Amino acid sequence: MASKELNLASAKRFGARYGPRIRNKVAEIELSSRGWHKCPYCSRQQVKRVAIGIFSCRKCNETFTGKAYGPIKKIITKTETLPEEETPAEEEE
């Protein structure tokens, strides 16, 4: 009985080896990592993966890190810096 094969794209290179479940997972990961992602800074679908965990937006030219195969879902914003603690004035004697 022939099994129903999904669109494996580049995972077809494994042929009949490793089993269908692993080939399907590899195909899913490769498809998501090579696709366009949403930029957390400008909210456009212009982010491409540059290297493992490094992503770059082609719209706003931001480069940021994320997970190995996809950018993080929410952006970590800079926390407001607290004003420097006032040091007591040195008492003159």
Q: Per-residue pLDDT tens for 31-75? A: 888 889 888 888 889 999 999 989 999 999 989 988 888 887 665
Q: Strand pairing of 63-65 and 47-51?
A: unpaired
Predicted local distance difference test score (pLDDT) of residue 47: 92
> Is the model's pTM score more than 0.85?
no
Residue 66 token pair: 């994320």
Alpha carbon separation from 64 to 8, 17, 75, 84 (Å, rounded) = 29, 36, 10, 29
Predicted local distance difference test score (pLDDT) of residue 56: 92
What is the rounded CA–CA span in Å between residue 87 and residue 93? 18
Predicted local distance difference test score (pLDDT) of residue 74: 60
Q: Strand pairing of 54-57 and 63-65?
A: antiparallel
